[in-house]
Structure 1
């Protein structure tokens, strides 16, 4: 329930009472006793979804819409006038939506501090291949406030909220990537992770570097759920975890790719991050529109031709961004599938008895060139061998295994590193 406190002049009191009586709302009016002014303070409880309608009726009845008014939260009211509105939606008012969005954004120190902490925890969870730790990073991430602030600002045509929301989103994700990369460099230099660790084979990382439709669906649903949670009387704390799930692990995976100097990992996770961020903003705006929220200057709930043209570039840019990165994600997913197939083929070949003395140092699969019809690839396998031993047929053997695995031609080279023991 919401408790409305509205100041009206004596000449407008009768019109205000008519509006409330027509809707069957019980109220209390108190005459002002100071400042020598003629007026009264009218108080009444109504459901959250009725706030906008009642204020619209006041304005239609001739009451000034720029008067003193307070909308407060009330735990209960006796009797409960749920019949005060004919709306079937459980949504809050425009002003309360704006206030909740602003209130969800923490201070600068808290926002960026918690962003760094969540990125570090997410990086640890990815490298440990621990879903529980990754979920923990989502719980403490503060990204829900900036994402929903941008969506509310776009929906209500509030330029200040739009600037604040998108600025905090961009800076927050940049800080998350930087924090994850710095933590990854520290882990590698200090030797806290095995030197032979291949991050592309870690399941929690592999999920974030091969984006596809299912990954895109996470971002779309996160934005819609966040908007519904914000626009109704529902709590948004759990919705914040959903939005963080679409952003923070992907940002941490980008940092891991930078720290391990793996462009394919950073690119794949970066595509997922951008696609999810765009999806959250787009579906957040569309959901708020679907719930009936509009800028105050839109008559009949729809924009004028000039206002529609004002929104068109933003919507078109988001759609083009989603289309471009969705196409790029398919290329990245294909590359990651090739890398997995190549690694499996190399491991299977070197597991043969004649190659038991060899040790795999690294397997790198990269683009050697791009033609009109295919992506040319080059595979470099670095192995250690006993000093003085030679394997002249290994290159041909690996070449056949790799080409059969990926079902397309690839240039294969083998780099030998001699080892000695005493």
Structure 2
């Protein structure tokens, strides 16, 4: 029987610390599979607690004394880009609960099933055009920058109300801001040029202008403009929400889509069931992302002592790590968790739970669905799995580089001596 909590000197704590120091690119499935059956809580050094089971993580995610820690940029970042540091430190994720809910409520209609469904025709055309463009390139193409990063950036441009010729600017601006965050923390890797103070001022000015532009009434900028006029938001709050979507609307979707394509390439049974129509694209996405969660951990801090029951008492000021990847493999919620059973599992925790569950989860699912549907008749092949590179931080479990051939049909990536396809 699994223990309730392991100490900081336990073998499981050592495995988790090894992963934190050096995330194993490709697959940490063995670690995430073992965590929920080894211990509901793994205590690490420095007063850190990893919650591993579905029951405990859901309880903690809903607890009012569990919050996202305030961001603390290094002094050099604050000095270089003070406006950006101030914006991000006061953004939606770091607001107290009443403010957080007030801001989310203004945007929520755009991310409901009805709101997302209304975007489908326009977004389907955007995705189809981009996939066709990628497929037209001869030879190999890196799927991450060519497709995975671009689909969510263009989708966000559409949602916010930017003209199509500005979508590349939305993409570049979002990645520049993400890069600035990455340069400020040693465990995050940088793949783009970080935003400068002058660039951020330009981003803010253009985004705020959306509130006055003649944009379609169904766009998020139009909704926020109406909220400002009604006194529900300040112009600064509305502008900050739109800027935040440049970042939060890109990375998670890009990681999800990349993982999905890699899963399809590496799992002939799943691919065959999907191509043969036995499994819907939506069910395939839900089950595949359950097994290969793109965001393994959610980092929180306790503002007061937290009693989760079953003998789990976490002190105030402790770091709480919600391990969504192990929750998705918890046999108490998902029997035989590594087996692929699309369409019959309960909802996974891929997009979080509680107050900070991803607001754009349904939009992310739609973007992935449309991308896979556009790729279905073309196919994707990985010729050399050894050239796939993975993110080296614990925030995301996804490739940073995925060289593929698009348009030559679906097939094995490469074949090992036992005949099995090897991509992870």
TM-score bracket for this pair, using the shorter chain length: under 0.3
TM-score where L is the length of structure 1: 0.25
Larger Rg: 1
Q: Higher relative CO (CA 8 A, sep ≥ 6), structure 1 or 2?
A: 2
